[in-house]
Amino acid sequence: MEGGWPVSEANEPKAKVVSEAIEPEAVTDIQQMNMIQAINSALDVMMGRDPDVVVMGEDVGYFGGVFRATAGLQQKYGKNRVFDTPITECGIIGVAVGMGAYGLRPVPEIQFADYIYPALDQLVSEAARLRYRSAGEFISPMTVRSPFGGGIFGGQTHSQSPEGIFTHVSGVKTVIPSTPYDAKGLLIAAIEDNDPTIFFEPKRIYNGPFDGHYDTPAKSWAGHDQAQVPTGYYRVPLGEARVARAGQALTVLCYGTMVHVVENTVAEMGVDAEILDLRTLVPLDIEAIERSVKKTGRCLIVHEATRTSGFGAELLAQVQERCFYHLEAPIERVTGFDTPYPHSLEWAYFPGPVRIREAINKILKD
């Protein structure tokens, strides 16, 4: 059973094999990796373990992906398991739905999250509904990888954060890592999962954490404790938040790039904030959120996506419903604006240290 629905008899043996492989294997080799390398390692591990895992997308094969996240995989596993597709996002996801129904575990890549919209019908009407409308006869165990978010001067067509759209769709899981260690463990867990998963990769932190100060030199993952990644199999369970920083003054709910921006901002301010890295938006670790907010009595929500109907609105509602009598100040949100992502004014749009600092001061003042 997964998600309350039985898988079909034809798929059941596959599901059992995958579900048994939960505990990490004995891994002695730990390597420093950036997020791209960690994602590549996760794909390599899963393709080596399961011959039904296939990777597909625009330029993922010979070229190794626009960010090189699939580099070397076609050479190692062949063109039948790592293959380039036409430039048709609807077709990529449509084919992946069929693959999953026939027992494969496809990992399609959408080159940028901004281009995922042509695939919405296949994701929403087919992949997300397949288990439900077939009464468990078929499943759609695909993991859709896609770089998302701004911070690289990609403009309006290479910077969007559409995660809120998918959290609204019943039957789809939404995952967003913030570190190389989590990126590998979460991707492995997503590939093993029997439900379709949207795996958004914050491209601003592919090569290093970002503190929000765009005018300072870029940092690498070198020396970061979360960049020490086992080379073998391990998994980070979906639906479990990570306490990125323990604190007492207020709770900050964030994910992806914003985790690092918030960490740096509270360090600069000297505020004893508790930072929760949500890691997965669906399923949401509401117990961890409730526990933290009831402890601190204050809550700030930070995300890069547009404000109206962004996932922060759902988080605000959940906190208000569950923690109202523990709150000592109104909940605040720091988000992107309700406009296309601007190129020339990127850092005015980006929820950076200045706006986060103002929101924290307001919460602590109330």
d(C-alpha 231, C-alpha 343), whole Å: 38
Return the DSSP state at 215: T
User: Active-site residue among 158, 213, 260, 326?
Assistant: 158
Helix H or strand E encompassing 108: strand 105-109
Catalytic (active site) residue 158 = yes
d(C-alpha 105, C-alpha 50), whole Å: 9
- Cβ neighbour number for residue 224 with a 10 Å cutoff: 17
d(C-alpha 59, C-alpha 57), whole Å: 6
Going from the C-alpha of 84 to that of each of 59, 110, 143, 229, the distances in angstroms are: 5, 12, 16, 28
Task: Answer whether 199's CB lies under 8 Å from 149's CB.
Answer: no
- Among 226, 169, 214, 235, CA closest to 22: 235
Task: Answer whether 365's CB lies under 8 Å from 333's CB.
Answer: no
Task: Answer whether 310's CB lies under 8 Å from 253's CB.
Answer: no
Going from the C-alpha of 203 to that of each of 123, 145, 148, the distances in angstroms are: 22, 12, 6
Helix H or strand E encompassing 323: helix 311-323
Q: What Rg, from alpha-carbon coordinates, does the chain have? A: 20
Catalytic site residues? 158
